Structure 1
Amino acid sequence: MVVTLIVICEVGFWVLLAAGLAARYLLKLPRTGLAILMCEPALELLLFVVAALDLRNGADPSLKHGIAALYIGYTVGHGHRTIKWLDGHAAHRLAGGPPPVKPPRHGMARARYEGRLWLGTLIGAAVATALLLLAIWYVGDPARTTSLQQCMYGAWRAAGIHGLIALSYAFWPKKAPDSGRSRGEAVRDAS
């Protein structure tokens, strides 16, 4: 049941997103589109309630409950950014809005951008951890909750790896390419 609901929530996320953007830009109903987009958190709430009820009804805590917590955490950490990004593209393609701003590609601006993405991953890991700790406390039997603990450790491993990648942009920033000059012209100008 929980696995099916995770799939339904993922599909529902994209269906609501498409419906909200279509209402905003194709049907020219911005308030209706916003109302549809605001239904997105209801999917995560539904998933949380069903997972809690599943545990309450005596289901053994398993990977499916951990994945539900990770899904909710990811949505909290990165859902807003995803919706904003897609909204910018829809506004540009469907309503003649300005092209969306692309992320910086070089230097410390790129490092700051990657750091903000990593903060979303940290928030997602923290939310997933809080939900998993609640589930572990709710079940009350450490022997039955090892799969939930593994999911929690997995969330923090992912956040750590993402943090190292983001940090690499600060220590080894990608340099901007020369402004169209050949290497020989740059050497001549330097002398």
Structure 2
Amino acid sequence: MHELTQLNPIVWAILAVEVAFWLTLASGLAMRYLFRMPRASRTILLCVPLLDLVLIALTVVDLAGGTEPDSVHALAVVYLGFTIGFGHATIAWADRWFAYRFADGPRPPKPPRSGTAYVRRMWAEWRRVVVAWAIALPGLLGLAMVAGVALPTDWDAVLSDPLLRMAVGLTWIAAIWFAAGPVYAMVFRWEGEREDASTAGSEPA
């Protein structure tokens, strides 16, 4: 318990934002489907991006106050990138299931596992990864500037800094995701149009 209370404040901020995200999402969908208040639902769901801005503001203030940058600060930026990249798809997925459970909506179809629809799904997923990377990379470099990180002169200097190291790692993740996602799908799982048409479009583009 003592170790938990000694966590970096940014860790607590990330955990709080994650909890707030799901609570806000659930509240917005409840307003839409249970209480039939679509305007209130839209207002609540529009607050979701504000949570990320609060997290980044706290991270910048922490670094500007003289805190040494570490992997937790880098994680906050990566969290922002993946929230923006995958947030819309996550909300759409939750919306479909909420409508099915509480508003007599159609049951969401199962994701395709092969064929053209599967390939499209993998490309859509990787595009979200690219969005996350495109948001997180300049964010990490910006935090490095706020923290006064000197411009690295060699590869060892890059790897010794947690913010720059995370930027490199995130680039590798995007590349590996590309190979394991759309490339793998096109080479090994593209079986023409044999998949059941009912599975097509199960994931938002």
TM-score (norm 2): 0.81
Amino acid at match of 1:67: L
Classify the secondary structure of the residue corresponding to 1:88: helix
Question: Are 2:115 and 2:190, in contact at CA under 8 Å, matched by a contact in 1?
Answer: yes
TM-superposition CA deviations, 1:66-115 (whole Å, max 9, x none):
00001000001001100011101111211112222443332122112101
Opposite residue 140 of structure 1, the aligned amino acid is: G
Task: Letter of the 1:171 partner, please give it.
Answer: V
Q: What are structure 2's unaligned runs of at least 5 residues?
A: 1-8, 151-156, 197-205
Partner of residue 119 from structure 1, selected from 101, 117, 127? 127
**Equivalence map 1:21-100=2 (5 Å):** 21-100=29-108
Q: Which residue does the alignment assign to 1:188?
A: none
> How much has 1:171 moved relative to structure 2?
1.0
Q: Aligned letter for 1:168?
A: Y
Residue 187 of structure 1 corresponds to none
| Letter matched to residue 3 of structure 1 | V
Percentage identity across paired residues of the two chains: 36
Where structure 1 has 5 or more consecutive residues not aligned to the other structure, the ranges are 179-191
| 1:106 partner letter | S
CA contact (8 A) 1:105 1:174 kept: no
Q: How many aligned positions are there?
A: 178
How far off is 1:138 after superposition?
Answer: 2.1
Of residues 89-98 and 127-136 in structure 1, the stretch that sits farther from structure 2 once superposed is 89-98
- TM-score normalised over the length of structure 1: 0.87
The equivalent of 1:152 in structure 2 is 167
Q: Deviation at 1:139?
A: 2.3
SS class of match (2:189):
coil
Q: CA RMSD in A?
A: 1.9
Once the two structures are TM-superposed, the CA of residue 28 in structure 1 deviates from its matched residue by: 1.4
Larger helix share, 1 or 2: 1
CA contact (8 A) 2:115 2:195 kept: no
Classify the secondary structure of the residue corresponding to 1:82.
Answer: helix
| 8 Å CA contact retained: 2:74, 2:140 | yes
SS, match of residue 172 in structure 1: helix
Q: Structure 2 residue aligned with 1:135, among 133, 143, 148?
A: 143
Higher mean C-alpha displacement, 128-137 vs 102-111: 102-111
Q: Residue in 2 aligned with 1:183?
A: none
Partners of 1:14 and 1:42 in 2: CA distance = 13
SS of equivalent to 2:36: coil
- Structure with the greater relative contact order (CA < 8 A, sep ≥ 6): 1 or 2? 2
The farther-off stretch of 49-58 and 25-34 is 25-34
Tell me whether 1:162 sits opposite 2:177 in the alignment: yes
For the 8 Å contact 2:74–2:166, the answer to whether it is kept is: yes
Which residue does the alignment assign to 1:172? 188
* Deviation readout 1:130-175 (Å, 9 max, x if unpaired): 1001111222323697000111122112211111112100111254
1:108 touches 1:169 (CA, 8 Å); kept in 2? Answer: no
